[in-house]
């Protein structure tokens, strides 16, 4: 049934056929049997595809295998790995009925069921009850830098189904900072690190003749030649245009932290927190009695950023719970989107005695507390348009950069018990901006924190001013903190904001 031909794996079974050819790091993953593997590499090298293909192959080859595909949150899994899974990996198997999707029940998580009894369960660590009560042979964690070491240890306790001859945790990720716990775990030898490269993905680089234009040798030890495909050349040029730490991680695949990072205090493991959920898996809103605030940083070519915050007044802790971070949309479109999220139309019936008939009354009600203030950057036109289309008043932000950064750093700093005064709720983003996705730019404020750095002069000295790039979400958080915490006069600043 399985035929490993040179660098290709061909699974042919009745009544379907599926072909996939891993190369480089992806091939190494296929051949590995260690109990813990991390495939790391820059963007788009084929890491996730390889992990999913391995899951598929193991399930096809051994009946009654139990596999699990996992991410920090189920929602993020749906928009990434599961698309590749359905469109490429199990495409033919779904068509022939070899694999069917089962939507889940109160007891069982959603899963793909194979004719041979194997199953692939899917889920998020944000809602672990149904998935973590079972045992598995192979678990794939996508974007493993998002999970904590406690998550990893918990997942490993579930690897004991013993239908297959080896039990394996496979993970993939783009590199994070050099001190990330997962990288340190690999350095310690507790997890095997496999590096994958762009040249490993046949969608980006195809095999070619030695004398073909832009042909280069595939790897030092091989005699094969490859050249970028048309798609690959475009994709690599987008990555080449990235700057700073994003370029190092997403183009070069390096585990590095940004140098001269402004918010050194920010740690996603601390400052990004999970929602509470009810028994049906619905998010529980933050308490009604906590006052709400919005901030806006206007933009069209650069992202327009609107953020909603709730303040726990007893503890003086801010929670950012919703974010719009989007380019190339008009202010009126953003205004109507936010209103559609925070309000709903309620229809009530009443009896019209005069005409003797039932009639309907429609009114728009807020589904969450109205903001006590909407704090905006100084775009007068933008503010006017937003006010006109929402009927809500706005006010100008206090924009002193240094004071804002100092005060925001103070909120991010943890106290002796490990608590900060500023948190981002996980998955607060309303929708991903396709422009940012295509150009590998930050899609949310959470991603901006890692690359917001101080300017460095040509002689290498750190300057007293942040780099004004990919900072729209950063500005919005600063406006919020300034609104609450700024009491005194601004420090003299010549740099404007
Ligand atoms: N061996 C292969 N043959 C054909 N297509 C492939 C192969 N490997 C990857 N691809 C395709 O390349 C695209 C990118 O692959 P994938 O999403 O696995 O990359 P990734 O390394 O996980 O990216 P990211 O770093 O963004 O998570 C997908 O469309 C995938 O189907
Ligand atoms: Mg991936």
pLDDT digits (tens, 9 = 90+) for 162-187: 999 999 999 999 999 998 999 999 99
CA of 48 to the centre of ligand 1 (A): 6
Indicate which residue's Cα is closest to atom 9 of ligand 1.
Answer: 46
Q: From the CA of 211, how far away is ligand 2's center (Å)?
A: 33
Atom of ligand 1 at shortest distance to CA of 45?
Answer: 21
State residue 11's pLDDT score: 57
pLDDT given at position 491:
58
Nearest CA to ligand 1 atom 15: 46
Q: What is d(CA 336, CA 52) in angstroms, rounded to the nearest whole number?
A: 39
pLDDT at 458: 82
Q: Does the structure show a pLDDT above 70 at 27?
A: yes
Confidence of residue 5 (pLDDT cuts 50, 70, 90): very low
User: Stretch 195-218: mean pLDDT, rounded?
Assistant: 91
The rounded percent of the chain whose pLDDT value lies above 90 is 78
- What is the position in ligand 1's atom list of the atom closest to the CA of 49? 18
Residue of the CA atom closest to atom 16 of ligand 1: 46
According to the model, what pLDDT value does residue 173 have? 97
Task: Give the residues surrounding ligand 1 with Cβ less than 6 Å away.
Answer: 20-22, 41, 43-49, 84, 88, 172, 174, 201-203
Say if residues 307 and 476 touch (Cβ distance below 8 Å): yes
25 CA from centroid of ligand 2 (Å):
14
Pick from 8-22, 73-87, 259-273: least confident: 8-22
pLDDT band at 490 (very low <50, low <70, confident <90, very high): low
More confident residue, 15 or 234: 234
Average pLDDT over residues 220-229: 85
pLDDT band at 69 (very low <50, low <70, confident <90, very high): very high
Mean of pLDDT values over 208-227:
84
Annotate 460-481 with b (16+ C-beta within 10 A) or e (fewer). Answer: eeeeeebbbbbbbbbbbbbbbb
The rounded percent of the chain whose pLDDT value lies above 70 is 95
Q: How far, in Å, CA of 97 to CA of 113, rounded?
A: 10
How much is the pTM? 0.82
Q: Could you say which ligand is closest to the alpha carbon of residue 84?
A: 1
Looking at residue 16, its pLDDT comes to 60
Residue 459 confidence (pLDDT): 82
pLDDT band for 212, please (50, 70, 90 cuts).
Answer: confident
Which of 91, 201, 231 should be mutated for ligand 1, with most atoms under 8 A from CB? 201
What spacing in Å lies between the alpha carbon of 84 and ligand 1's midpoint?
Answer: 8
pLDDT of residue 258: 87
328 Ramachandran zone, left/alpha/beta (phi>0; psi -120 to 50): left
CA of 22, closest atom in ligand 1: 1
What is the mean pLDDT of the segment spanning 274-278? Answer: 86
* 424 pLDDT more than 70: yes
Predicted confidence at residue 273, as pLDDT, reads: 92
Compute, in angstroms, the gap from residue 321 CA to the centroid of ligand 1: 32
Is the pLDDT reported for residue 395 higher than 90? yes
Q: If you average pLDDT over residues 131-139, what whole number do you get?
A: 93
Of ligand 1's atoms, which has the minimum distance to the CA of residue 201?
Answer: 8
1 — pLDDT class (breaks 50, 70, 90): very low
Inform me whether the pLDDT recorded for 14 exceeds 60.
no
Q: Comparing C-alpha atoms, which of 331, 430, 311 is closest to residue 385?
A: 331
Tokens of 126: 């944000």
Q: What pLDDT sits at residue 488? A: 75
Averaged pLDDT, 483-487: 95
Please tell me the predicted confidence (pLDDT) of residue 495.
44
pLDDT score recorded for residue 76: 83
- For residue 284, what are the contacts with CB-CB under 8 A and spacing of at least 6? 275, 276, 277, 278
Q: What is the 64 CA–ligand 1 centroid distance (Å)?
A: 27
Mean of per-residue pLDDT scores for the chain: 91
pLDDT in tens, 142-166: 999 999 999 999 999 999 999 999 9
Ligand 2: centre distance to CA 26 (Å): 12
Residues 6+ apart with CB under 8 A from 216: 225, 226, 227
Distances in Å between the Cα of 321 and the Cα atoms of 121, 290, 307 are: 29, 12, 8
Query: Cα separations (Å) of 204 from 199, 227, 246, 287?
Result: 7, 8, 20, 48
Q: Which pLDDT value is given to residue 12?
A: 52
Atom of ligand 1 nearest to the CA of 172: 22
How many other C-beta atoms can be found within 10 angstroms of the C-beta atom of residue 168? Answer: 22
Q: Which range has the worst mean pLDDT, 11-15, 179-183, 320-324? A: 11-15
pLDDT band at 3 (very low <50, low <70, confident <90, very high): very low
């Amino acid at each position: 049934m399985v035929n490993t031909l040179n660098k290709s794996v061909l699974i042919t079974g009745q009544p379907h056929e599926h072909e996939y050819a891993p190369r480089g790091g992806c091939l190494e993953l296929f051949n590995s049997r260690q109990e813990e593997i991390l495939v790391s590499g820059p963007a788009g090298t084929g890491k996730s595809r390889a992990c999913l293909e391995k899951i598929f192959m193991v399930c096809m080859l051994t009946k009654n295998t139990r596999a699990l595909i996992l991410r920090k949150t189920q929602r993020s899994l749906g928009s990434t790995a599961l698309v590749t899974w359905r469109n490429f990996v199990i495409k033919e198997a779904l068509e022939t009925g070899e694999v069917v999707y089962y939507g889940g029940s109160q007891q069982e998580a959603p899963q793909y069921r194979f004719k041979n009894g194997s199953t692939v369960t899917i889920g998020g660590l944000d809602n672990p009850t149904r998935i973590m009560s079972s045992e598995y042979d192979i678990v794939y964690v996508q974007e493993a830098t998002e999970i904590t070491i406690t998550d990893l240890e918990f997942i490993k306790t579930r690897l004991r189904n013993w239908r297959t001859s080896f039990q394996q945790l496979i993970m993939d990720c783009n590199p994070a900072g050099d001190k990330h716990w997962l990288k340190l775990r690999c350095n310690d030898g507790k997890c095997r690190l496999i590096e994958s490269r762009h040249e490993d993905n046949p969608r980006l680089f195809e095999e070619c003749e030695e004398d073909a234009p832009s042909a280069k040798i595939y790897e030092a030890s091989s005699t094969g030649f490859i050249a970028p495909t048309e798609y690959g050349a475009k994709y690599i040029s987008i990555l080449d245009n990235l700057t700073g730490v994003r370029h190092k991680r997403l183009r070069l695949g390096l585990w590095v932290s940004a140098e001269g990072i402004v918010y050194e205090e920010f740690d996603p493991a601390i400052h990004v927190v999970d929602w509470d959920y009810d028994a049906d898996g619905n998010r529980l809103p933050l308490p009604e009695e906590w006052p709400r605030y919005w901030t806006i940083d206007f933009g069209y070519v650069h992202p327009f950023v609107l953020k909603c915050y709730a303040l726990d007044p007893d503890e003086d802790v801010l929670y950012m719970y919703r974010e719009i971070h989007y380019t190339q949309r008009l202010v009126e479109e953003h205004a109507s989107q936010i209103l559609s999220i925070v309000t709903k139309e309620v229809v009530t019936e009443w009896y019209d005695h005069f005409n003797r008939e039932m009639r309907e009354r429609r009114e728009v009600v807020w589904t969450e507390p109205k903001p006590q203030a909407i704090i905006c950057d100084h775009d007068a036109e933008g503010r006017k348009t937003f006010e006109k289309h929402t009927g809500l008043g706005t006010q100008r932000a206090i924009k002193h950069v240094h004071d804002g950064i100092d005060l925001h750093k103070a909120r991010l700093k943890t106290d002796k018990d490990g608590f900060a005064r500023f948190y981002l709720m996980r998955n607060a983003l309303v929708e991903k901006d396709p422009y940012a996705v295509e150009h590998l730019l930050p899609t949310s404020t959470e991603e901006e924190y890692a690359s917001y750095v101080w300017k460095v002069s040509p002689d290498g000295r750190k300057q007293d001013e942040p780099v004004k790039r990919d900072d729209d979400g950063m500005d919005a958080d600063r406006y919020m903190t300034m609104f609450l915490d700024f009491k005194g006069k601004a420090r003299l600043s010549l740099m404007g904001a």
